[in-house]
């Protein structure tokens, strides 16, 4: 077996229990006479020899797995170490250090520094998942797209209102956008978030802020929503389908604030005859939603079996009428 962790876990289980269902990892023990195959089970016959082997070959591997799991828990990452424990521990130690120092790192540069191979982390699922979970939690990847029609100053003096006027939008690297203490949100009284990029590009407000929320990637937009003034009103423009409602609920949870979903029920009822039938395998399930408006919309979607994409709403109304419907 190529993976020492799985081999060591199988050997340790046999040592502790005296017998185990047959698996490939136990074949070397059978061949060496340390255990014997009895039907579909492997039975330990030389406990002392196996104990010595585990002490010499497996102790460090299992200890690395345990230390890696402790680091994972302390860092709040949702990862299970099923292979590569030594390398996983080395990666976690480096990421933990970089988190404390607030040092960004690109995965290939990190991989080259740790393993002398720029693609090593990407090549092994457990290492790739560790890096991905860490980078998401530290906002090491991605970006935040924002348009502002109200003053929104960065501490270095840049006003995103002026950036929007000059360039159409501000595209902020995730690591910088996550430092919300660098931004003055005090003048923002209205914020509109959009699930898809096309509406974000087309819509223009008279006041407030427009923010692109890329599907289920809700952590960074949620962080900005959370830091907006409490009196700021929030509307989310999403697809009316099961995923669109779940995305809105994720934003509600991440932002810890109240918001309203558009298209709302009055709009859907007015345009019911023009809505497309919902034929996807995933159905509207009202019981899966916590927010009252999401539950109400899911009941209506289930009853009428229709859906509405943002782009379709933009097409039938046009940008100005969409804004009018949202900001009534």
Residues 98 and 186 in one domain: no
My answer on whether omega of the bond before 246 falls inside 30° of 0, hence cis, is: no
Q: Is residue 102's pLDDT more than 70?
A: no
- Position 18 scores a pLDDT of 93
Smallest CA-to-CA distance from 140 within 108, 113, 178 is with 178
Q: Is residue 50's pLDDT more than 50?
A: yes
Residues 253 and 148 in one domain: yes
Cβ atoms within 10 Å, residue 192? 23
Full residue range of the structural domain in which residue 233 is found: 143-326
pLDDT over 70 percentage in the chain: 96
Residues 150 and 286 in one domain: yes
Angstrom distance (rounded) from CA 89 to CA 262: 45
Angstrom distance (rounded) from CA 278 to CA 58: 54
Contact between 231 and 189 under an 8 Å Cβ cutoff? The reply is yes
Q: Is residue 48's pLDDT more than 50?
A: yes
Give start and end residues of each alpha helix (H) in the chain. Answer: 4-17, 27-31, 47-57, 59-75, 85-101, 107-115, 120-123, 125-137, 160-167, 174-177, 197-202, 219-227, 242-255, 265-270, 292-304, 310-317, 319-326
Residues 278 and 307 in one domain: yes
- Position 1 scores a pLDDT of 46
Q: What is the CATH number of the domain that holds 262?
A: 3.40.1360.10
Residues 163 and 289 in one domain: yes
Q: Which of 182-191, 209-218, 303-312 shows the lowest mean pLDDT across its residues? A: 209-218
Cβ atoms within 10 Å, residue 281? 4
100 band by pLDDT with thresholds 50, 70 and 90:
low
CA angle 88/91/96 to nearest 5° reads 120
Contact between 29 and 6 under an 8 Å Cβ cutoff? The reply is no
- Position 99 scores a pLDDT of 73
Q: What is the mean pLDDT of the chain?
A: 91
Of the three residues 112, 137, 162, the one that is the final residue of a domain is 137
Q: Which of 258-272, 274-288, 298-312 shows the lowest mean pLDDT across its residues? A: 274-288
Residues 193 and 316 in one domain: yes
284 band by pLDDT with thresholds 50, 70 and 90:
very high
Residues 48 and 88 in one domain: no
Residues 66 and 46 in one domain: no
Residues 177 and 32 in one domain: no
Residues 177 and 88 in one domain: no
Angstrom distance (rounded) from CA 115 to CA 89: 12
Name, in order, each residue with C-beta under 8 angstroms of 177's C-beta and a sequence gap of 6 or more.
139, 143, 144, 220, 224
Residues 9 and 75 in one domain: no
Q: Which of 92-106, 190-204, 240-254, 275-289 shows the lowest mean pLDDT across its residues? A: 92-106
pLDDT in tens, 216-254: 777 889 999 999 999 999 999 999 999 999 999 999 998
Q: Is residue 7's pLDDT more than 50?
A: yes
Residue with the larger pLDDT of the pair 3 and 252: 252
Angstrom distance (rounded) from CA 85 to CA 62: 8
- Position 304 scores a pLDDT of 94
Domain count, the chain: 3
Q: What is the DSSP string of 73-121?
A: HHHT------S-HHHHHHHHHHHHHHHHHT----HHHHHHHHHS-TTHH
Angstrom distance (rounded) from CA 288 to CA 302: 13
140 band by pLDDT with thresholds 50, 70 and 90:
low
Angstrom distance (rounded) from CA 82 to CA 141: 25
Smallest CA-to-CA distance from 128 within 76, 174, 91, 75 is with 91
Residue with the larger pLDDT of the pair 186 and 219: 186
Of the three residues 86, 103, 137, the one that is the final residue of a domain is 137
Angstrom distance (rounded) from CA 314 to CA 244: 16
- Position 136 scores a pLDDT of 74
Residues 126 and 29 in one domain: no
Q: Which of 97-101, 176-180, 242-246 shows the lowest mean pLDDT across its residues? A: 97-101
- Position 145 scores a pLDDT of 95
Query: What integer is the mean pLDDT of 168-193?
Result: 93
Query: What integer is the mean pLDDT of 19-43?
Result: 93
Angstrom distance (rounded) from CA 182 to CA 176: 9
């Amino acid at each position: 077996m190529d993976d020492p962790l799985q081999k060591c876990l199988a050997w340790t289980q046999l040592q502790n229990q005296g017998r185990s269902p047959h698996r490939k990892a136990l074949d070397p023990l059978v061949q060496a006479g340390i255990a014997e195959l009895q039907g579909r089970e492997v039975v330990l016959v030389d406990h002392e020899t196996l104990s010595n082997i585990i002490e010499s070959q497996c102790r460090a591997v299992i200890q690395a797995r345990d230390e890696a799991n402790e680091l994972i828990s302390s860092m709040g990452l949702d990862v299970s170490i099923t292979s590569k424990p030594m390398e996983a521990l080395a990666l976690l130690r480096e990421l933990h250090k970089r988190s404390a120092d607030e040092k960004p790192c690109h995965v290939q540069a990190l991989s080259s520094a740790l393993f002398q191979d720029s693609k090593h982390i990407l090549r092994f699922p457990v290492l790739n998942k560790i890096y991905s979970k860490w980078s998401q939690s530290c906002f090491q990847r991605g970006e935040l797209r924002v348009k502002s029609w109200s003053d929104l100053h960065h501490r270095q003096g840049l006003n995103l209102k002026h950036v929007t006027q000059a360039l159409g939008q501000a595209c902020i690297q995730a690591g910088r956008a996550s430092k919300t203490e660098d931004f003055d949100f005090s003048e923002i009284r209205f914020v509109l978030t959009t699930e898809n990029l096309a509406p974000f590009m087309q819509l223009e407000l008279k006041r407030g802020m427009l923010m692109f929320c890329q599907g289920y990637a809700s952590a960074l937009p949620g962080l900005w929503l959370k830091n907006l003034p409490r009196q700021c009103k929030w509307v989310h423009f999403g697809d009316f389908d099961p995923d669109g409602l779940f995305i809105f609920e994720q934003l509600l949870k991440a932002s810890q604030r109240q918001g309203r979903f558009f298209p709302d029920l009055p709009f859907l009822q007015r345009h019911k005859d023009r809505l497309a039938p919902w034929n996807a395998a995933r159905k509207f399930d009202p019981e899966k939603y916590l927010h009252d408006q999401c539950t109400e919309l899911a009941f209506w979607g289930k009853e009428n079996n229709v859906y509405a994409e943002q782009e379709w709403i933009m097409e039938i109304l046009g940008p100005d009428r969409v804004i009018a419907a949202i900001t009534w």
